[in-house]
Structures are given as structure tokens and as C-alpha cells.
Amino acid sequence: MIKGSTAIYGIFGNPVSHSKSPLMHNAAFRYFGLDACYVAFDVLPERLDQATQAIRALNMRGVNITVPHKERIMPLLDYLSPEAEAIGAVNTVKNSQGLLYGYNTDAWGFIQSLSERGIYVKGKRILVLGAGGAARAVVYALAKEGAVLFIYNRTAQKAESLALEYGSMGSIISAVSQKDLEDLVSLGGIDMVINTTSLGLKAEDPLPCDIGSLNPNTIVCDLIYKRTPLLQAASEAGCTTTLDGSGMLLWQGVYAFQIWTGLTPPVELMREALR
């Protein structure tokens, strides 16, 4: 029931109508009987400044930020968490008495989605496909956990800058060429492959890498929320552990809910709402 006192939360994206975050957060608000609701706002890039001002003006309590605003919102906020600063992207904003705090819960959410499946990345040799915004959160999270990383991207220079930037965090990170990629995969030197590119969103997309010769113990992850051609091909090649992006979506939301409310989120209920 929306009343005069109802607190407003939301998500800013463009497009945003496909977002499942309202389902997940409204389910959690209902669980606690909170007088709050969560709405999706389709914010055009040229309106982001005004939309961010509106968080304060309308006293919205918190918002999630998604594509294409995660980087551009940063200078519009009052404070950034160390993760948000290091990753260069914000996906969660908390309004505390008119001051806007920016967080990045994607990195933690990604690690949590692995650990709930019993996957720990310390010392694992991991191939990250892509070097865009989504890759930054993943590479940051994995580097912090002490994985050994190889980054392949269509535009090689972006993979090289990412490797250089996060290489100082104490992890071993290298950018790899197309040729290195084939060798790495075929020589069985990879424990996990993670697709962070947009390849796989459309059914007709080519695979982001040739996985024909992957060894069956290799874990294959895709940040896309559905069973992509990559995950399908990995299963067909005999890989026993494959993960789509729905776990990361859940856990980044769980952490955002906790930041906003200070409550322990009802994880299974939120998972069910997403499903």
C-alpha cells in the first residue's frame, strides 16, 4: 500500500523496463513490512544530473544505478566508497539527510555468487573476457581475492590498461592476445573463464572465445543473466560447473538492501522474486 509516508527507492537506467531489481527489493520491503517502495526510472543520459538532484529534492532514500550511468554519476555524489572509487563505477546510492553516498556492490556480489557455489578464487588462474565497465568490477574483485588473471578484449589496448591499473593490487594480471588466448585455453591452463562482454545477449552472437578444448573442470561464468550460448557450449564440451549472472544480480541487490536499511536481507525470498 503506497501512503503519504512511503519511502521511495529506485533504479536509474536507460533502458530500464527489463530490470528485475524492483521485484527483488519490493519483496524484501514487504517481508519486513517496511513502508517503502522501489520503482524503475528510465533516465536519459542528458537528464542524469537532474535525476540525481531529484534524489535529494524528493528525498528518495536510495537508488541503484545501471547502464549507462554507473560511471557518469560519480562526480554528482558527495562521497564514494573505496570500492566505488577503485572500480570507477557506482551501482548503489544512499541518501543520508541530503548527502549522497556512492557504493559499488557488484564486486562483492560477484565474489559472493561464486562462494555460495563453493568456488574460491584465491590462486586460481582466471581468464576474463572483456575490458569494459562490467569487467572492471570483476577484475577488481578477483585481484583483491588473489586470483591470477588473464584479460582478453577485442580492443587489446583496453585489456592492457586494465591489467596495468589493477596489477598494483598484488595480484598477477596480464593482458593476452588472440593467439595467447588460444594457447591458454587449449593447454588447459585455465581454472575459470568469465564472460563480461555483451556477446551472448543476442542468440545469434558468436561465442566470446573458442572453448572447444576447455578441460571439464574449468568453471565457466557469464555475467549475462540467462543461459547464454557460451554456457550452453561449455556444458556441451563437458564443463560441469557453469554460472550465469543471476547470482551476481541477487547478491549486489542483497548488499544494496543492507546498505539502505541496515537489516539482514531475506536472501532466499529475493532470489525467489528474481526467479
Which positions lie near ligand ATR, rule CB under 6 A?
Answer: 67, 130-135, 153-155, 158, 196-199
Q: Side by side, which strands form the sheet with 92-96?
A: 36-42, 7-13, 62-65, 92-96, 99-103, 79-80
Mapping DSSP to helix (H, G, I), strand (E, B) and coil, where does residue 100 land?
A: strand
Closer residue to ligand ATR, CB minimum distance, 24 or 65? 65
Closer residue to ligand ATR, CB minimum distance, 91 or 95? 91
Task: Identify whether the C-beta of residue 256 lies closer than 8 Å to the C-beta of residue 91.
Answer: yes
Q: How many CA atoms lie within 13 A of 255 on its CB side?
A: 20
Closer residue to ligand ATR, CB minimum distance, 29 or 150? 150
Written as nine digits, the cell of 33 is 513490512
Closer residue to ligand ATR, CB minimum distance, 123 or 132? 132
Least Å distance, CB 196 to ligand ATR, is 6
Least Å distance, CB 109 to ligand ATR, is 15
Least Å distance, CB 161 to ligand ATR, is 11
Catalytic positions are 70
Distance of CA 102 to the CA centre of its chain: 15
Other C-beta atoms lying within 10 Å of the C-beta of residue 215: 15
What span, in angstroms and rounded, lies between the C-alpha atoms of 213 and 34?
Answer: 51
Residue nearest to ligand ATR (CB): 132
Least Å distance, CB 199 to ligand ATR, is 5
